[in-house]
Chain A
Amino acid sequence: MSRARLGQSWLRPAVGVVIGLVLVAVCGSVLSATLLFVAAGILVSILYSQAVSFSIGFGGVATFGNQAFYGMGGYLVAWLSINEGFSNTGLLILIGIVAGILGSSLTVFLVRGQTGFVFGMLTLAIGQTVYEFVSSTSVAGGTGGYAGLVRGPILGLDLNNASTFYWFLAVIVIVVTLLLYGVRRSAFGQVLSATRQSALRVETLGAPVNRYKAVAVMLSGGLAGLAGALFAFTYGAVDPSMFYWVAGAAPILAGILGGMRTLTGPIVGATIYGGVIYAFSLSATVGQLYVSLIVLAIFLLMPDGIVSALASGIRSLSTRLGGAIARSPGQPTERKA
């Protein structure tokens, strides 16, 4: 038996990166400065949706408190930059990631031993507790949060340039997507995925299921912290709404829209969700209604998400085309002796 048959192909991710770079380049060259700013916000939403989709969709761990890690990443970066004068952007982003990992680790510790719905509700309760603490005390800037964060340079790049900042975020999204691809295909990812399908089965193989789930939540927390940090850099300000449960629901919604269990689902979902919201944002009175109707229509037509529906459509089309080619009279069907 060839060992190669047990290995994995890196062709698909390579093609994915090329397509991603082309899309980013096209958007970067045609969008105005205002729309590049909107696109930057969408890229942050993509990261946030990737974070929650990994734990909930891929790992099957019902965590509804990611907004706490998102807010912690954003707040810590804003506070260090504005109040303490930190200007090293790379270090600040790293601190945002670490804040998310620490926050999620603490959450995992507090809800240890719980599973399923109870686990999810406890993580939501922890998230809401953090929100109440941030919004009702003056410890973290009170209801106003922090404003006035200035983007420092990174690797000689001026992030105050809209195009540069857009590319900076796009590259981070591509790197994170590749990282998630690797994690999903790794032994850890395969066991985690199997755990989502049946924790009992995986236990009988000797896998410490709770440890796998904990690592998934921590990885998701780190990514949420990264998204929060980049949110602070994008908008230059943070406020307690980052910690509110609605802030945690939006990336879940975007993930479901695109397909939570797929790698590209959160990217597609967050892009469409963000795009639709922006498109209807000018009509403040009925804009939200249109957004809700469009999202509802997508949910009804594509319950497994846009990416799964597209993949299924392409498979069906290729099967039909294959059949048509096979039936074509001009095609030689069989060599006769």
Chain B
Amino acid sequence: MTGKIDSSPGSTEPSAATASGIVMAGIDAYYGRHRALAGISAEVPAGSTLAILGRNGAGKTTLLRSLISGFGVRVTGDVLIDGASVTGLSADEVVRRHDIGFVPDDRRIFPLSVADNLRVAALGSRGWKSDAERVLALFPFLEQRLSQLATTLSGGEQQALAIARAAMRRPRYLLLDEPGEGLAPITVQRLVDGLRLLQAEAACTVVLVERNMEMIGALCDTAVGMSAGRIIWRGAVAELRADPQLLEQVLLPATAAQETGSSHDSG
């Protein structure tokens, strides 16, 4: 269905199960009794980069959270990472077992110093200082702020810190929830530069929820479009960028009016 909008539920299927990478097989996600995702099937091969697009309430953030069963999301169906099912595991187990770096929406940094934010992310690793030096090389502007209370940083610096924190434990998978939200283009470019360095350094698989097409274009090869908790389109990012009409259809699908949205979900 590449390149076409499809509003029928659960119609997108992964091409084949892979031993490495992420495979979602018919997953539903719930906040309490509210179903936020319905019959999601998709695949993110190891080393690839996938963008998730859609309007508010489409289920983008929930899909990202479902991959680690985090933030109170209850998931049914199968999420396979590296060929192993993670369904039923707690978020921290999924993150640890599969070396996942998760950057949640709204940055969610701790009201500690910049250095202590990085130290927390190392979870007691003795080599945390060398890891901190490594991730600070991605975002050199943070080096001058090490002793500063992280909540007093600018929005862009906080976002860079959130990404640096996720990169502390050398992730093989990087899940990013709207890192460019509310940031100036120059700041987005600085984040993109850091993320590209990280990708090049760790060759990690990236799943990016984002609406900034510049950022998506710089970081991702493939994309899926979501609406009302379902995948309605999948294809190449280049295809989307080349066809404004298609992009509009993905971001504002015809089914938008029927969407119920989710109060738990920014995406």
Residues in A lying within 8 Å of B, measured CB to CB = 1, 3, 5-7, 186-188, 190-191, 193-194, 197-198, 200-209
Shortest Cβ distance from A132 into chain B, in angstroms?
Answer: 36
**Are B119 and A203 closer than 8 Å at their CB atoms?**
no
23 residue pairs of the A-B complex, CB under 8 angstroms, read A5-B146, A6-B119, A6-B129, A190-B120, A191-B123, A193-B110, A197-B110, A198-B108, A198-B110, A200-B91, A201-B104, A201-B108, A202-B92, A202-B120, A203-B70, A204-B92, A205-B102, A205-B165, A206-B92, A206-B95, A207-B123, A208-B93, A209-B92
Query: Which listed residue, A3, A194, A203, touches B110 by the CB 8 Å rule?
Result: A194
Complex interface bits, B99-131 against A, C-beta within 8 A gives 1, otherwise 0: 010101000101110011011111111001100
Query: Which chain B residues lie closer than 8 Å to A202 at the CB level?
Result: 92, 120
- Given A191-B120, A205-B123, A206-B96, answer yes or no on A200-B71 (Cβ-Cβ < 8 Å): yes
A206-B124 Cα distance, complex, nearest whole Å: 12
B118's nearest neighbour on chain A, judged by CB, is A6
The docked-state distance in angstroms from the alpha carbon of A193 to that of B71 is 19
Interface pair B68/A204, CB less than 8 Å apart: yes
- Set of chain B residues within 8 Å of A208, measured between Cβ atoms: 90, 92-93
Cβ contacts under 8 Å, B118 to chain A: 6
**Contact residues in A for B102 (Cβ distance below 8 Å):** 204-205
* Cβ-defined partner of A6 (8 Å) among B68, B72, B93, B146: B146
Closest approach, in angstroms, between the C-beta of B10 and any C-beta of chain A? 27
CB neighbours (8 Å) of B93 from chain A are 208
Q: Which residue of chain A lies nearest to B122 when distances are taken between CB atoms in the complex? A: A187
Distance between Cα atoms of A95 and B13 in the complex (Å): 62
Contacts of A206 in B (CB 8 A): 92, 95-96, 100, 123, 169
What CA separation (Å) do A208 and B165 show in the bound complex? Answer: 17
Taking CB atoms, residues of chain A closer than 8 Å to B165 are: 205
Q: Is B188 an interface residue (CB 8 A)?
A: no
A120 to B173, alpha carbons, bound, how many Å? Answer: 37
Known contacts A188-B124, A190-B116, A202-B120: does B143 contact A1 (CB below 8 Å)? yes
A-B contact count (CB 8 A): 83
Q: Taking CB as reference atom, which chain B residue is nearest A185?
A: B116
With A197-B110, A197-B111 in contact, is A187–B92 under 8 Å at CB?
A: no
The interface residues of chain B lying within 8 Å CB-to-CB of A193 are 110, 112
Q: How far is the CA of A271 from the CA of B210 in the complex (A)?
A: 54
Knowing A197-B110, A203-B90, A203-B91, the reply to whether A191 touches B96 (Cβ < 8 A) is no
Q: Decide if B24 is an interface residue (CB 8 Å cutoff).
A: no
Instruction: Say yes or no: is B147 at the interface (Cβ < 8 Å to chain A).
Output: yes
Assess A201 versus B110: contact at CB under 8 Å? Given A3-B133, A187-B122: yes
A residues near B71, Cβ cutoff 8 Å = 200, 204
CA distance A205 to B162 in the complex (A): 11
State the CA gap A122–B145 with chains docked (Å): 43
Other contacts beyond A203-B92, A204-B95, A206-B123: 14, CB < 8 A:
A5-B115, A6-B115, A6-B119, A187-B123, A188-B124, A190-B116, A200-B71, A201-B110, A202-B92, A204-B91, A204-B92, A205-B95, A205-B165, A209-B92
Chain B residues lying within 8 Å of A191, measured Cβ to Cβ, are 120, 123-124
Q: How far is the CA of A290 from the CA of B235 in the complex (A)?
A: 74
Taken together as a complex, chains A and B put the C-alpha atoms of A1 and B145 apart, in Å, by 11
Q: Which residue of B lies closest to A7 (CB)?
A: B129
Contact string against A for B residues 209-244, beta-carbon threshold 8 Å, 1 for contact and 0 otherwise: 000000000000000000000000000000000000
B80 contacts chain A at the CB level, 8 A cutoff: no
Are A1 and B133 interface neighbours, CB within 8 A?
A: yes
- What chain A residues lie within 8 Å of B123 (beta carbons)? 187, 191, 205-207
Q: Are B129 and A3 in contact (CB under 8 A)?
A: yes
Which residue of chain A has the shortest Cβ distance to B124 in the bound complex? A187
Q: Which residues of B contact A200 (CB under 8 A)?
A: 70-72, 91
Closest to B142 in A: A1
B120:A205 contact, CB within 8 angstroms:
yes
Chain A residue at minimal CB-CB distance from B168: A205
Interface presence of B136 (CB below 8 A): yes
Residues of B within 8 A of A186 (CB): 124
The answer to whether B70 touches A190 (Cβ under 8 A) is no
Is B25 among interface residues, defined by CB-CB distance under 8 A?
no
Q: Which residue of B lies closest to A3 (CB)?
A: B129
